[in-house]
Amino acid sequence: MARVDYSERIPNNVSLADNRRLLRALEEWQPRYLDWWNQMGPDGFQARDVYLRTAISVDPQGWAHFDWVKMPEYRWGIFLAEPEPGRTIAFGEHKGTPAWQDVPGEYRGTLRRLIVTQGDTEPASVEQQRHLGRTCPSLYDLRNIFQVNVEEGRHLWAMVYLLHAHFGRDGREEAESLLQRRSGDSDKPRILGAFNERTPDWLSFFMFCFFTDRDGKYQLASLAESGFDPLSRTCRFMLTEEAHHMFVGEAGIGRIVQKTVELMREHKTDDVRRFGGLDLATIQRYLNFHCSVSLDLFGSEISTNAANFYTAGLKGRFEETKKTDDHLLREATYPVARPAGDAITLVEEPALTALNERLRDDYVADCQRGVDRWNAVIKKHGIDVELKLPHRGFHRAIGNCAELRVSPDGRVVGQAEWDARKHEWLPTPDDQAYVASLMVPVVEPGKFAGWIAPPARGINSQPVEFEYVKLSVRAGEEGRRG
Ligand code: BYC
């Protein structure tokens, strides 16, 4: 069961061959997916051999398969984690009853909406990142972004499988729409805000992987608790892929910070731009931006949607089954940030409607651990500066603080102070132009752009100077596939 059958057109571990109708529907979707990938996937590298990891089974050892693959030939497939025999619903009003193998009729619309919202983020991120290959800081990083991209494509497959297998005709229509919306498009944008932002450079990309993919981790972990077992199982497997994306983000920013502090020490200055580096103040402004748009992805602090998802048993808390309370939350309260005058204070609210905020808290604590590791690099170089997460009210478009101006240290400020100081807090046009000026491709194996340190080790025990993407291509091939 754990092994994936790669002899089939759509690799899977869900016995697709036994369900002819579903197989046919997915086989019809497959060429449209490939059209989307060729149109919106990584620009300019579709004919190149990339050293990619492919899942060959859903157990941890199954990840050990690395090979040269041209991205359009990547074996996107359908992989669900192994079923847990006798699994029951862990929370909400159906607590203790067997997990659903089919969609409960009363929750059909809600569940479909959750799956579509999750699914929509996956192609969106590929679209956001599609031009970055052309300015890669190294072949190692180029391979990593492509790994992330193909896995986001696979996550789309994961959600499309659920839509096709469990939601009949409207599921198929939603699967089509997932290929129609476009990140940043004014007529048919992606559903959630952060997925319509631009990712124009590699500093933004690494921040995106650190902050936005981490939202993915927390949302997927909550959906992995779902009483709808196929969703739970697919999210459990997706989480294993998500871990690599966050590694790319954390390690990427860590390597930038490393290079920055090396330049600061060498030249005895904070102004490392003169030496082709990214100064810590710019890194902080990008951090502020990406953190704030990712905080929005958790929804409003007080949400009846979230309460309903929970009570219905559709979406749990992070590590729901490890918690020791009643898993109903009818009486419990939870502290929620709320503006009061020019400060933001914590107010106890019913825990059930505060579930988005609770998940955001789990997320912020996880982000802080990563920031601490970056700060350890700075400190090790004897530099007395710390990167900081902005206050959760800063630069928000969703929730209690959406209508306010809040400084990164959590003060509600007037429009005048905001206007006067926002250039200190968010990337400025000058920052963006400077970062853009650094985006010069470095494609010689083992070489790295001057603003980022090499990684400590390569991929899958290969040396750092390994040729992770083969850029040489036979004459005529690029015209056809590139
Ligand atoms: N932008 O009650 P509210 C990932 C909407 S990332 C635009 O506050 P709720 C990945 C909301 O939809 C993980 N609209 O929020 C990362 C609702 O609209 P409707 C993605 C927003 O419903 C990197 C209304 O405002 N997965 O995997 O409790 C690369 C009121 O909403 C936003 C999921 O999100 C926003 N930021 O929670 C690749 C999991 N926030 O329904 C992939 C599935 C809220 O009234 N989604 N709205 O029309 C959910 O669980 C929930 O939909 C949300 C919102 C947590 C997003």
- State whether the beta carbon of 103 lies less than 6 angstroms from ligand 1: no
Average pLDDT of span 449-474: 93
Nearest CA to ligand 1 atom 5: 299
Q: How far is the CA of 330 from the centre of ligand 1 (A)?
A: 23
Residue pair 209/151 in contact by the 8 Å Cβ criterion? no
pLDDT in tens, 373-395: 999 999 999 999 999 999 999 99
Q: What pLDDT, on the 0 to 100 scale, is given for residue 481?
A: 40
Q: Which atom of ligand 1 sits closest to the CA of residue 296?
A: 36
Q: How far is the CA of 297 from the centre of ligand 1 (A)?
A: 6
Residue pair 69/128 in contact by the 8 Å Cβ criterion? no
- State whether the beta carbon of 127 lies less than 6 angstroms from ligand 1: no
User: Can you tell me the distance from the alpha carbon of 220 to that of 401, in angstroms, rounded to the nearest whole number?
Assistant: 25
pLDDT band at residue 478, thresholds of 50, 70 and 90? very low
Q: How far is the CA of 103 from the centre of ligand 1 (A)?
A: 21
5's tokens: 């059958």
179's tokens: 């290929």
Q: What pLDDT, on the 0 to 100 scale, is given for residue 62?
A: 66
Q: How far is the CA of 187 from the centre of ligand 1 (A)?
A: 19
Residue pair 273/264 in contact by the 8 Å Cβ criterion? no
- State whether the beta carbon of 279 lies less than 6 angstroms from ligand 1: no
- State whether the beta carbon of 125 lies less than 6 angstroms from ligand 1: yes
User: Can you tell me the distance from the alpha carbon of 366 to that of 101, in angstroms, rounded to the nearest whole number?
Assistant: 32
**Residue scoring higher pLDDT (193 or 235):** 235
pLDDT band at residue 299, thresholds of 50, 70 and 90? very high
Q: What pLDDT, on the 0 to 100 scale, is given for residue 473?
A: 60
Nearest CA to ligand 1 atom 37: 299
Q: What pLDDT, on the 0 to 100 scale, is given for residue 3?
A: 64
Q: What pLDDT, on the 0 to 100 scale, is given for residue 5?
A: 73
Residue pair 241/386 in contact by the 8 Å Cβ criterion? no
Question: Could you tell me if residue 206 is left (phi over 0), alpha (psi between -120 and 50 degrees) or otherwise beta?
Answer: alpha
Side-chain-side CA neighbours of residue 150 (13 Å): 22
Judge whether residue 477 has pLDDT over 70. Answer: no
Q: Which atom of ligand 1 sits closest to the CA of residue 193?
A: 1
Phi then psi for residue 338, to 5 deg, are: -140, 135
pLDDT band at residue 65, thresholds of 50, 70 and 90? confident
pLDDT in tens, 409-440: 999 999 999 999 999 999 999 999 999 999 99
Judge whether residue 120 has pLDDT over 90. Answer: yes
- State whether the beta carbon of 308 lies less than 6 angstroms from ligand 1: no
Percentage of the chain with pLDDT > 90? 92
pLDDT in tens, 144-171: 999 999 999 999 999 999 999 999 999 9
- State whether the beta carbon of 149 lies less than 6 angstroms from ligand 1: no
- State whether the beta carbon of 49 lies less than 6 angstroms from ligand 1: no
Judge whether residue 25 has pLDDT over 80. Answer: yes
| CB burial string 304-335: b at 16+ within 10 A, e below | ebbbbbbbbbbbbbbebeeeeeebebeeeebe
- State whether the beta carbon of 215 lies less than 6 angstroms from ligand 1: yes
pLDDT band at residue 2, thresholds of 50, 70 and 90? low
Among 219-223, 300-304, 340-344, 372-376, whose mean pLDDT is lowest? Answer: 340-344
Q: How far is the CA of 380 from the centre of ligand 1 (A)?
A: 39
Residue pair 258/272 in contact by the 8 Å Cβ criterion? no
Q: What pLDDT, on the 0 to 100 scale, is given for residue 4?
A: 73
